[in-house]
Structures are given as structure tokens and as C-alpha cells.
Structure 1
Amino acid sequence: MTSNYAPPVARLREWIGLGVMCLATLFIAADSFVLMLALPHIAAGLNADGIDQLWIADIYGFVVGSLLITMGGLGDRVGRRRLLLIGAACFGVASLLSAYAGSPVALIVARALLGVASAAMVTSTLGLIRTMFQEPKQMGVAFGLWASSYTIGAVMGLLVGGVLLADFWWGSAFLINVPAALIVLILGPLVLPKHRGEVTGKPDWISSLLSLAAILPAVWGVKEASRDGWQLLPIAAILLGVLLGIAFIRRQRSLSTPLLDLSLFRNPKFTTPLLALFIQALLTGAVLLFVMLDFQLVEGLTPLQAGLALAPGLVLSSLCAPVVGALARRIRPAYLIACGEALVIAGLVLVILAGSFSSPVLFITGFALWSAGGSPLLAVGMTLMVGSAPPEKAGAASSMPQVSAELGNSIGVAVIGSIGVALYNARMTDSLPSQVPPDVADAASQSIANAAQSAAGLPPDLARIVLDNAREAFTGSLQLITGFTAFVLVGVVAMILVRLRRVRPLGSEDQASEQQRPRAAAVSDENTVNQ
């Protein structure tokens, strides 16, 4: 008896459903990039200091990263479409709360709620893609389009956010999420399948709480240590997070249906892109935040101009993602991803040079290379990771790439960002002349945004000195963290080439296994006859 199984091919309804999920992803990305543009305006409107700004920027990622594993497992049990629609509704409400927040604390809480909603939406979309597109080549195209929607959303967030911030108050930039949430709520039930994995039983709330309790104190401890030094409370928080993380792992090993299948981590096709995503997000997230501040506070660009400066890179990235999906059928993932990371490194080098020559053109070109180079890791790496898990566990498996990226970005903003702030503070403390009033010098040393505000009340000559020193200190900090990022990514390239060198192009392994099935069955039949 022969077996020539072929996975089902997606039809028109699945592709329309993919469009709805890409719309949800598009506005999640738009919200993140709108925040980067709006941060200087938020700092002025809410009187947020440098640490408040870091919390506003990274609380979203902390919550998303903490809840993705829980949401992935929950989607496998209660249904991914249902969880996606609940997340879309919550996303719209949280966007309204963000827009009308009256204090830094209120905005931080609203951003945390946005993180809860985004965690539900992201894991649901990735799990649904794995279920709806089981044919390997179609899966690669679907993940490529999903990655493109993220970059298109980033472009839209920058452009629309820039226009709104030029004419309206900062909260208006968050209102663009509300119509998108309504569209997903209307179209989602019509085109998305009511899929629920084979994982049954009640949600494992103990594991969910352990994953949340492990991540939050550890990240908080790292953040506080980077700000105030290695004191007793941050160290205790980090140790608590580590201990709870160990307890989470031990519990997963003891369960018949764990929240997270730890056997996935024995597969290099899963672990290698996962680690690469974490390292890249850890380092480039903080660099991108500093670049956005540099555009507006050093180069003097308006929010709209800053958005337009990043738009070429994001458009190029969105165009590259589908092309990468096609190339992945012919080129081994190791070579494709490594070439992309080499482009990222080249872009970061241009960013360093741009700071030395004060050249927006070099900034724009560097970011374009950086964005395009990241497409293979996102599109091909995501396909490798999610494809490593069976469809019934796709929700939990798909949570891990997002956990890696979100936590990497958040920890990077907290740690690398705080290091950048500390470098800026040290440079400003040593460079300001004695004529600058102590209160102005103290405020200017906290952040470049505070320097711009505090210098406004000084005589023109003295204000120019403060601003020139602030810009020089900020540019120096940006160059140092960018150089460190490029150096570490060279090691990431080497890791990818070594660990993924035997992985064949996408779809080729499945075709080979399908060709071998009839042969194996024929040999089995022949042996039976001979017996």
C-alpha cells in the first residue's frame, strides 16, 4: 500500500482571511511607530521625564512578551479566531484610553492594556496562518505577506502619525487604531475559520501565572539596575524571575499537555532563528528609538519629516519580504538570512557615519539597508519556527518568535536605552560651562528633550551652547550603541551559518519526504510478498 499525502492547498477564502489578519498586524505595527514619533510631544504634554518616557516606550513590549506564551496556549484551547476578535475589541478600547491619558502613569497603564490586546491578536494570527496555509510554499508566501504588513503598518504609522502630530494634539495619533479594530471585528467572523487545536482541557492558569511572574520581575530588575545600579532590590527581582522561570520549565516537563512544548527547543530550525531574533531585537530596538529622537531633536526634523525619512527603508522592507519568500524556495535559509544580516550591519555602519557627518541622507540610506536586511530573518525564520510545530500546537509555538522579539526589544530599550541615557548624562555633566544655571544643567543632563525645553528660557548665546552640547552628547551616545550592535550581529551571522547550514530550501524537504514515502511503501510490500 502506498501513501502520497500532500497538505491541503489554500483557496480564495484563506487568502482573504490572511488579508484581515494582515490588517490587524498592520495597525499593531502602526501603533508602535506612532509612539516613536509622538514621544517628544508626549514628554512635553504630560511633563514626562526621561525614565517616564522609557516606561511609556517599553511597558507595551514587557506585557506583550509576558503574555504571548499564555495567549498562544489559550488560543489552542478556546479557538484562535475567538481570541483574535476579543483582542481586536480590547485593542480599540485601549487605544482610546491612550489617546485621552492625562498623566504619564495613565498612559503607561493604557499602553499595558494595549500589550494585552496585542498579545492575543499576534499569537492568533500566526497560529491561524499555520493552520490555514499548510502547503510549505504557500506558508512561506503567507508569512512573507504577514511580515510585509508589519512594515507597511510602520510606514503608515509614521506618515499618518506625522500628519496628525503636525496639526493636532499627541493623543490623536492613537485614534487611527479604532477604525481598524472595527473592520477586523466585522470581517473576521466572515472569512476566518473556527479553528481550535486538538489541545483540550482547561487553560493551565498556573503555568500562565508562572510565565508572567518570571518575566516581569526579571525585566523590571534589569531596568532598575541599568538606571540606579546593582542594588539589593533589582538583584532580588532578577533572582526571583530566574527561580520562577525554572519552576515554569519544571512544570512544563511534568505535564502531558504543557503550555509550551519544550521539545521544540531541541530543533535547531526553531532555536537558531529564535535566538537571532532576540539578539537583533535586543540591540536594534534601542538604536531605532535613538535614531527617531535624533531626527527630531538633533537634525531638527518635524514628526512628518522624521516619518518620511524612515519610510523608504520600511517600503523597501515590505517589498523584500515576498521576494525573500520566493528566494527561500531555492536558497538555503542559512545563506539567505546571513546575507540579510550582513545588510543590517552595513546599514548600521552608515548610521554611525551619519552621526559624524550630520547627514540625514546617510541616516536614511543606512536605515533602508538595515530594514531590507532584516526581512529574511523575519519571514524565513518565522516560517522555520512555526513550521517546526504541528498545526494543533501552532498557537503556542507561534508565540515564541514574538516573545523573543518583544522581550528583546523591551529589554534592549530598557538596558541599551538606559546605557545610552547614562552616556549622554555623563557627557553633558562634563561639558556644560559654569554659566549655565544649575537647575537648567540638571534638566538638560536628563535627556535631550529636556535640554531643548530648558534651553528655551536662556539667553540666545547660552541656549545655543546648551543645545550644541546636548546634540553632540546624544550623537556620541547613538554612535556607541550602534557600533556595539553591529559588532554583536557579526557573531549572529556566524551562528546562523553554522547551525542552519544543513537546512534545505523551504518546501524541498517536504517534497523529498513525499517521494520517499511511495518507495518505502513499495519496499514494504515487496518484503511482505517475499515472506
Structure 2
Amino acid sequence: MPFYTSILSQPPPRSPSGFCSFEVISLPMEPPLTIAPPARAGRREWIGLAVLIFPTLLVSMDSTVTYLALPAISAELKPTGSQLLWITDIYTFLEGGFLIIMGALGDRVGRKRLLMIGFILFAAASIMAAFAGSPPWLIAARALLGMTGAIILPCTLSLIRSLFHDDRQRTAAFGLYTAGYSGGTMLGPLIGGVLLTHFWWGSVFLISVPLMLLFFCASPLLPEYRDPDAKQFSLMNALLLLTGTLSVIFGVKRIAESGGMDWVALTTLLGGLGVSGVFVYSQTIVRNPLLNLSLFRIPAFSVTLSTLFLGLFCWAGLYLFLTQYMQLVLGYDPLKAGLLTLLPVGITVAGCILAPQTLRWVSRSVTILLGNVLMLGSIVLLAQLSTETNLILLITGFAGFNLGCGIVVTMGIDMVVSVAPHEQAGAASGISESSTTFGQAFGVALLGSVGTAVYRSKMFAFADTALSEEARGTLGGALEASKQLPVEAGLALANNARQAFVDSFHMASLLAAMAILIMIGVFVAVMKRNPK
């Protein structure tokens, strides 16, 4: 008979007075359940983090190293204005489009294994880009680089989570990861400047080959992870997301290239918006959506994601202008232009590392707000640039612009992951990565397209229709065309082309400043209503 049954079946004892009496029995208590703290990472894990920074540096560096090579690419391959923009931003478009797909694939085939495959394909695509003989060839190579970059980034982040289980150590690891990514983004033009000074433009794409060899030598330090309960995902939905995004961007580029709305631009824009709408609707009815739309119902999540998007939107779009401004307007060689980025690089990396320390005094939202204000003020400074050299204005504005963006990205990603439910932290991380990547892509596409449209209108007003398409579409093309003209006519063409480029930069800066100003107002309003 069970113990509790035997007790209940026995009549209670009676006292001499006839009343029932009860005796308090002390039962032994089990010791309280204690949960062991997560294991702290040792030297092997920190070395593994250093190994993972190799592919991170490579991917981020490749997203900007092309900027400094654009004048040399324009001179040799002679791309149109639209092709020049595709060379720069097809990388980030496809990287952003494939991030979610490759992150889910890593859970199934193994993150370390997929990372190794991605690194090999990235190196192969880099060699293809280095020896491209035409603009379409280079665009195709950059597209492949973007797709393979999408393999590397989510696998790297997920492996960091596997290495670090202690919360404070993991936060520090992600801070170093962000600093490495930001540093690679800024170091790209510097290293590119050194290579372009001594080698041909294709050398900037060969950086990945020695880094790949170093990574493979150190890869045994990395753990393998495969999710045994990984859910299926719809490849069709992934194609819908990619098709919708690229169609919209192609439509915007077509408008800038043709100088107005034609049937091709209208068709691709409406088709892209329609496909994107189908994708969003599909995420509400499928069992395993690529995007967890419930996260967007969290106000702090949505507004911070928008801040991340716009921060990278403005940074990437204006960075495209600034790298060309230093070479084509001020006349600096690639090495000198790269050296001018050294101070912004150091300040940005330091800001990414030190930004989490501000949480001792202010909240994440206040730090993000201060980063946006710094970006806005720096854009106002940069908008004062002209065809005349002003190094103090350029370096001050450039450094403040990069520092503000670094603060916004570092604390914004932390905010996005923190406000999301714990069980959805992985989905939140994937969405934040896609947001920053698409922000860069849209910034180059939209601000670059606006700049191209302004430049073309200024050049059309200056010269007649006899001006070549290359000269009408890009500053590099105009400078090359000026060398073929008599001295006086060539000088007039070069000066007007430089002024047209500066005017296009001013217009892009105005749009970027307006976007950040509106974002600051929205961010403050939302965070006041939802302080947590």
C-alpha cells in the first residue's frame, strides 16, 4: 500500500478528552535545486573568436574595397553609370537576400562545414572578379561574392554563440565581432589604396586568397554545430524575397539611368512591390516562415530595426561619394585617399568596443539617439565640401560620421536582440543582419541613383549631345574624355564635371540628413511610449 494511502486509511488518534489530536511530523526536506552557472570560455574559445574574425574582416572589407578601385575600373572597363552602381551594390543586395536562407541551411548541414564551403567559394569568386574583362563579367563575379558572403556571416555569428555561453563573455565577444566587421569595412579602402598604388585594380579582390589559407590552418579550433530539430523552410518564399527586392531596386536604377519613368521601370517597380506583398502575406500563413512577423509587433524592435536600416543606408550611400570625391575631385592617389581613412577607422573601432560601456550611465536608446545626432551633425559638415581642398572639414566630418554609425549599429543590434523574447533571439539576430545589409544596398542604390540623376542633368546642361555616354554618366568617364580634348576645352569639361559631382553629393547629403532627422523624431516618440 502506498505511503500516503496508509496514512489516510488510519483513523486519527484521540486524546483523553475525546477530541482528535494531531502530531506534527517533520519530514526531511530535499536540498534546493541549484543551477550551475554556464561554463566560462577559456583560451581556446577566445582564439576561436580570433579565427572567426578572419572571414568577418574579409566579407566586410570586400563590401567597400571596390569603392576605391572605381576610378581605375571606370578607366579600363568603361562601365555606364548604371553598371558602375551595379558593380558596387549587387554584392550587398544578394548578400542580404541570401542571409536568412544560408543561416537556415547552416543549421541543417553544419555551421562550420558550410562556413568552410563558403570561404572556398568566396575565394574562387574573388579570383573571377580580379580578372574580369568587362562590366557584365565583374557584375556577375560581385553577385557570386555576395551570395557566398551570405554563407559566411550567419555561420560566423552562430559559431560565436556556440563558443561563448556566459552572458558577459558573449556580449564582449559580440562587441569584438562588431568592431572587427566595422574595422574591415573601413580598412577596405586603405588596403585597396596600397594595392592600387603598386598593382592593377583587380588586385583588391585577391586579398581573400591568403586569408583563406590562414583560416583553414586555424579551423580545427572551431566547433561544429548542427540543429537536430531544425525545421524546414520554403525555398519558394526565399525566391520571392530576393525577386521582389531586386526588382524594386532595378526599377529605381532604371529611373535614374533614363532620367524618367518608362514602361520598363514602371513594370519592374510594380512587379517587385507585388512580389514583396505576396512574400509578406505568405509569412503569415506558412508553418515555418523565413521572417517571424510577430517580432515586428514589439515597438522597440521595429523602431530600432528601422534605425539600423537608415543608419547603414546613409553611411553606404554617402561613403560611395566620399571615396570618389577624394580621388576624382581632390586629385588624391589611391594610397593617399586610403590613408585619410585611418583616423575614421580607429575612431569607429574604438567606438564599437566602448559603446557598450555607456550602459553604466545611460540606456541603450539614449546611446542610439546620440549616435544618430552625431551622424546628422557630421552630414551637415560634409555637405559643406566643395571642389576646393579642406582636409580639416573632410576628416572631421568623415570621422564623426563613421563614429556615429558605429555606435548606432553596435547598440542597435544589442537592442534588437535584447527586446526580442529569449526563445526568438536567433530570429531577431538574423533579421537585424538582413536590415543592416539591405540598408547598405539600398543606400548605394537610391542615393547613388539620385546622385547619378543630378550629375547627368548638370552635364546635359553643360554639354551637347555629342558628349560620350561615359562622360555624361560618371565623373571618371568625364575626366577620361577631357584628356582627349584641347587643353582649354578639356579643362572646362573636367571642372564642370567635378562641380556636377559635388552638386550630386550635396543632394544625396540633403536626403540623408532629412531621413536621419525624421528617424530621430520617430525613435524618440516610440521610445517615450515604450521605455522598456
Q: Give the CA deviation at 1:302.
A: 0.5
Q: Pick 1 or 2: higher relative contact order, CA cutoff 8 A, min separation 6.
A: 1
**For the Cα contact (< 8 Å) 1:333–1:503, is it kept in 2?**
no
In structure 2, the residue matched to 1:193 is 223
Q: Give the CA deviation at 1:14.
A: 2.6
Which of 483, 496, 499 is the aligned partner of 2:523? 496
**For the Cα contact (< 8 Å) 2:314–2:443, is it kept in 1?**
yes
Q: Does 1:154 align with 2:185?
A: yes
Q: Deviations over 1:69-112 (max 9, x none)?
A: 21122223333222222211111111111101111111110000
In structure 2, the residue matched to 1:219 is 249
Structure having the higher Rg = 2
Q: Are the structure 2 counterparts of residues 267 and 78 from structure 1 closer, same or farther at C-alpha, using a change threshold of 3 Å?
A: farther
> Structure 2: which 5+ runs fail to align?
1-31
Which sits farther off after the overlay, 230-239 or 340-349?
A: 230-239
CA distance in 1, matches of 2:76, 2:506: 29
Q: Does 1:464 align with 2:494?
A: no
SS at structure 1 position matched to 2:384:
helix
SS at structure 1 position matched to 2:330:
coil
Q: 1:1-400 maps to which residues of 2 (within 5 A)?
A: 7-188=38-219, 190-197=220-227, 199-228=229-258, 229-355=260-386, 358-387=389-418, 396-400=427-431
CA distance in 1, matches of 2:34, 2:263: 62
Q: Deviations over 1:178-214 (max 9, x none)?
A: 11123223323x2222223364244432222222222
Structure 1 vs Structure 2 CA RMSD: 2.4
In structure 2, the residue matched to 1:477 is 504
Q: Deviations over 1:348-406 (max 9, x none)?
A: 11111222764132111101001111122211111222345678765543332222222
CA distance in 1, matches of 2:108, 2:280: 20
SS at structure 2 position matched to 1:41:
helix
Q: Are the structure 2 counterparts of residues 94 and 445 from structure 1 closer, same or farther at C-alpha, using a change threshold of 3 Å?
A: same
Q: Give the CA deviation at 1:503.
A: 5.2
CA distance in 2, matches of 1:370, 1:471: 23
Q: Give the CA deviation at 1:28.
A: 1.3
Q: Give the CA deviation at 1:236.
A: 2.5
CA distance in 2, matches of 1:203, 1:143: 27
Q: Are the structure 2 counterparts of residues 128 and 267 from structure 1 closer, same or farther at C-alpha, using a change threshold of 3 Å?
A: farther
In structure 1, the residue matched to 2:16 is none
Letter in 2 for 1:417: G
Q: Are the structure 2 counterparts of residues 356 and 103 from structure 1 closer, same or farther at C-alpha, using a change threshold of 3 Å?
A: closer
**For the Cα contact (< 8 Å) 1:38–1:165, is it kept in 2?**
yes
Q: How many residues align?
A: 499
Q: Deviations over 1:43-67 (max 9, x none)?
A: 1111212221111111111111211
CA distance in 1, matches of 2:153, 2:470: 39
CA distance in 2, matches of 1:264, 1:455: 54
Q: Give the CA deviation at 1:416.
A: 1.6
**For the Cα contact (< 8 Å) 2:315–2:402, is it kept in 1?**
no
Which of 510, 514, 522 is the aligned partner of 1:487? 514
Q: Are the structure 2 counterparts of residues 382 and 179 from structure 1 closer, same or farther at C-alpha, using a change threshold of 3 Å?
A: same
Q: Are the structure 2 counterparts of residues 470 and 503 from structure 1 closer, same or farther at C-alpha, using a change threshold of 3 Å?
A: same
CA distance in 2, matches of 1:263, 1:477: 40
CA distance in 2, matches of 1:319, 1:172: 29
> Structure 1: which 5+ runs fail to align?
505-531
CA distance in 2, matches of 1:217, 1:457: 38
The TM-score with structure 2 as length reference comes to 0.87
Letter in 1 for 2:178: A
Q: Give the CA deviation at 1:259.
A: 2.6
In structure 1, the residue matched to 2:443 is 412
Structure with the largest fraction of helix: 1
Letter in 1 for 2:73: I
**For the Cα contact (< 8 Å) 2:48–2:221, is it kept in 1?**
yes
Q: Are the structure 2 counterparts of residues 425 and 259 from structure 1 closer, same or farther at C-alpha, using a change threshold of 3 Å?
A: closer
In structure 1, the residue matched to 2:6 is none
Q: Give the CA deviation at 1:275.
A: 0.8
Which sits farther off after the overlay, 293-302 or 59-68?
A: 59-68
